[in-house]
Amino acid sequence: MHGKLSMNSGVLLLVAGIAAGAIGAQSPDDSSPRPQAAVEIEIKQFKFNADTVRVVAGDSVRWTNRDVVPHTSTADEGEWESPLIEPGKSFTQTFNQAGTFAYHCTPHPFMRGVVIVEAERHR
């Protein structure tokens, strides 16, 4: 008897899981907006932990200073410039336009990185 209940319970769980997946799935022509994402970059030992990151237009990048001195995130072409990011603090930049953005740390110009922003993808 317990075996039959377990099997029925398993079938119910399987059906419930399939239904939940179908409800959560989006069709290719679903025009609902994609949730914004945030990419994390740590600053540690006078380096950005990712030389290049890729995001989609509308996403944000957050730089968190895990170093012992202040740093910045400063776009080479002037698109953004953080204030000094003190140790333990963060700075977030949202990217609304597609493009490739090189950046550096103003006090330590040898620290460099790139953010590649892709046009919005439809899911």
For residue 40, the tally of other CB atoms under 10 A from its CB is 14
pLDDT (tens digit per residue) in 11-55: 333 333 333 333 333 333 444 455 567 899 999 999 999 999 999
Q: Is 41 exposed, middle or buried, given 0-12, 13-18 or 19+ CB atoms closer than 10 A?
A: buried
For residue 76, the tally of other CB atoms under 10 A from its CB is 12
DSSP lists the bridge partners of residue 117 as: 55, 99
- pLDDT, position 35: 55
Tokens 């949202």: give the residue.
94
- pLDDT, position 46: 98
What the block records as the tokens of 61 is 């990048």
- Averaged pLDDT for residues 95-119: 97
**How many percent of the chain have pLDDT more than 70?**
68
121 or 77: whose pLDDT is higher?
Answer: 77
Give the containing element (helix H, strand E) for 112.
Answer: strand 112-118
Contacts of 54 (CB under 8 A, 6+ apart): 116, 117, 118
- pLDDT, position 18: 31
Residue of 107, 100, 114 lying closest to 65 (CA atoms): 107
Identity (one letter) of the amino acid at 62?
Answer: R
- pLDDT, position 55: 96
